[in-house]
Amino acid sequence: MNYEPDEYGYWGEYGGRFVPETLVAPLDELATGYFTVRDDPDFRAEFNDLLQNYVGRPSPLYFAKRLTETLGGAKIYLKREDLNHTGAHKINNCVGQILLARRMGKKRIIAETGAGQHGVATATVCALFGLECVVYMGTEDMRRQEVNVFRMRLLGAEVRGVDSGSRTLKDAINEALRDWVTNVDTTYYLLGSALGPHPYPLMVRDFQCIIGREAREQILEKEERLPDVLVACVGGGSNSIGLFHPFLNDESVRMIGVEAGGRGGNLGEHAARFMDGGNVGVLQGTKSYLLQDENGQIAMTHSVSAGLDYASIGPEHAFLHDTTRIEYASANDEEALAAFKTLSEMEGIIPALESSHAVAHAIKIAPDLGRDQIMIVNLSGRGDKDINTVQEELRRKHDQ
């Protein structure tokens, strides 16, 4: 099956471009720019060279032996995106987009960030190429991801706090869009997830597909067969679509996207778009599933992990959800925190709270799968940025 969007950026009924007229010209320019480089050998060579020598790819596919033995079920492999330069999968997309921005002659780069990983990765590639960098970040996220704010500033980026709405990722995207609409001539918007208006969801997915392509090769080398299950967390959906996409036509491979279950099932307490309360709508340039109230106002969301704390989901995910090619599950705050601890203690790997949601789901289902089953979990980022949050949460729990 063909999983490409149509020429307007639609996967089925999802995607498209829902933007103010002012942004049409820059989006057209971006699409033209991207489709020019997409299959250009020089561009690909430059991209691959940076991935190898700057990012440190390929990232290892690591067999989590103790975790596997303890759970007593499927063999668990971790795709170690946490070992990338800057500590998460976000850098893959940033390297691709910064090369594009350079070819388009843009000198000023803006980005949004939730957990700060995309902001750090953007600040990093801007430093690498000497470009001006402004990162929008919700003030609630700045509080809980303080280390990343400092990292971005060290890298020479200007971090602008966003005080509107829930002061998280969604609000940072609004503010980045407002900046872009005001500075269209000079500015490149380096969007960090498989979200937003066409061509972003396609372009970001393409750049992240390196994860799945490598994982496919690595597992075939190690096990001489395809995996049975892939598990990845889904905020906007870039790390998961990057892992899943190269396997979509392998019918035997089951794929599970794990959303943030937060602290409860009511609207406002979680960020699971495919749970009750999520239905189709338009937000920030794209049509997809949204957490919204009965009046079409975007709902507040909650997750212990800033990177999953978002009311919408990438349009390709919405499509793959409806076709049932990908299954979606959720892990709540508590399960993610427990998985964070488990992986740290059992494998010596401190995962990002976002990735901990994927680990939590793996821990949940692995025991029920046979020992002959193979599972790959995308460890999309490392958890250094989260130690303060985890400390706070554990202390709170202890006090209760």
Partner 1 sequence: MNRIFTKFEELKGAGRKGFIPFVTAGDPDVATSLSIVLKLAEMGAAVIELGVPFSDPMADGPTIQRSSRRALDRGTSLNDVLRLAADFRKKSDVPLVLFSYFNPILSFGLDDFRKAASGAGIDGVLLTDVIENEAAALSAKFATVDIDLISLIAPTTTDERLKSICEPARGFVYAVSRAGVTGAQETTSAAAKTLVTRARRFTDLPIAVGFGISTAAQITDVWSYADAAVVGSAIVSEIEKANDPVAAVEKFVGQLLPLFKKNGDKTVPDEVT
Is 112 part of the annotated catalytic residue set?
Answer: yes
> Which sign does the torsion angle of CA 296, 301, 306, 307 carry?
negative
From the list 19, 1, 258, the residue with the least C-alpha distance to 9 is: 19
Tell me if 16 contacts partner 1 by CB under 8 A: yes
Active-site pick, 59, 79, 81, 90: 90
Tell me if 17 contacts partner 1 by CB under 8 A: yes
Nearest approach in angstroms of CB 293 to partner 1 is 9
Tell me if 193 contacts partner 1 by CB under 8 A: no
Q: How far apart are CA 212 and CA 81, in angstroms?
A: 11
Of 178, 222, 341, 371, the one binding partner 1 by CB under 8 A: 178
Q: Quick one: which segment of 57-65, 149-157, 292-300, 350-358 binds partner 1 (CB under 8 A)?
A: 292-300
Of 294, 348, 372, 396, the one binding partner 1 by CB under 8 A: 294
Tell me if 161 contacts partner 1 by CB under 8 A: no
Active-site pick, 112, 140, 175, 347: 112
Tell me if 276 contacts partner 1 by CB under 8 A: no
Which ranges of the chain does DSSP label H, i.e. alpha helix? 24-37, 41-50, 65-71, 90-103, 117-129, 139-144, 146-154, 169-182, 200-208, 210-223, 238-244, 315-322, 333-347, 353-365, 387-399
Q: Quick one: which segment of 33-41, 50-58, 148-156, 163-171 binds partner 1 (CB under 8 A)?
A: 163-171
Q: How far apart are CA 311 and CA 331, in angstroms?
A: 16
- DSSP collapsed to 3 states, 206-229: HHHCHHHHHHHHHHHHHHCCCCCE
Of 2, 252, 297, 400, the one binding partner 1 by CB under 8 A: 297
Q: How far apart are CA 263 and CA 223, in angstroms?
A: 38
Nearest approach in angstroms of CB 225 to partner 1 is 44
Is 380 part of the annotated catalytic residue set?
Answer: yes
Phi/psi for 164 (5° steps) reads -90, 165
Q: How far apart are CA 30 and CA 17, in angstroms?
A: 13
Nearest approach in angstroms of CB 177 to partner 1 is 5
Closer by beta carbon to partner 1, 183 or else 388: 183
Q: Are 360 and 331 in contact (CB under 8 A)?
A: yes
Tell me if 18 contacts partner 1 by CB under 8 A: yes
Phi/psi for 251 (5° steps) reads -60, -25
State the pairing for strand pair 254-262/229-233.
Answer: parallel
Q: Quick one: which segment of 40-48, 95-103, 173-181, 350-358 binds partner 1 (CB under 8 A)?
A: 173-181
Tell me if 76 contacts partner 1 by CB under 8 A: no
Tell me if 185 contacts partner 1 by CB under 8 A: yes
Nearest approach in angstroms of CB 11 to partner 1 is 16
Tell me if 252 contacts partner 1 by CB under 8 A: no
- Positions annotated as catalytic residues are 90, 112, 380
Binding site for partner 1 (CB under 8 A): 8, 16-26, 164-165, 170-171, 173-174, 177-178, 181-185, 280-285, 290, 292, 294-298
